[in-house]
Amino acid sequence: MFKYSKSSADKLATCDERLQRIMNEAIKIHDVTILCGTRGEREQNQAYENGFSSVKFPNSKHNSNPSKAVDAALYPIDWKNRERFIYFAGVIKGIAASMGIKIRCGIDFNQDLNFKNDRLFDGPHFELVD
């Protein structure tokens, strides 16, 4: 069984308890790193300016406390391997569905199962759909 690093655990603790439950199941299956939970104004606007987010503060689900979004990836991260992010998104969607939690993934924001037609491919991003 895998275990979160202190840094990952601290970031996950800033997330909504539903996201924590999902990610706590995921770590039982794979080595996972948590990249981001709650994001402040400076961090959000920097993510936008660097092309990692399509919205400025306060319009991201990362901008609430607790965060309604989490960025997570299989460890070690291979940023060039899109298929690895797609696989991990399937794992997370399956865990969420088994818990009755609706989420949306950054690999398919419009949720049409076409991973090439969204304006942003945000592999590590998962957000609650309320």
State whether the Cα torsion 10-76-109-96 is positive or negative: negative
Domain spanning 6-128, CATH class? alpha beta
In 1-130, the DSSP E strands lie at: 32-36, 69-74, 103-105, 125-128
pLDDT at 22: 98
Mean pLDDT per block of 10 residues along the chain (130 residues) reads 96 98 98 98 97 96 98 98 97 98 96 91 96
pLDDT at 119: 86
pLDDT at 1: 81
State whether the Cα torsion 34-123-57-46 is positive or negative: positive
Return the half-sphere exposure (C-beta side, CA atoms, 13 A cut-off) of residue 86: 11
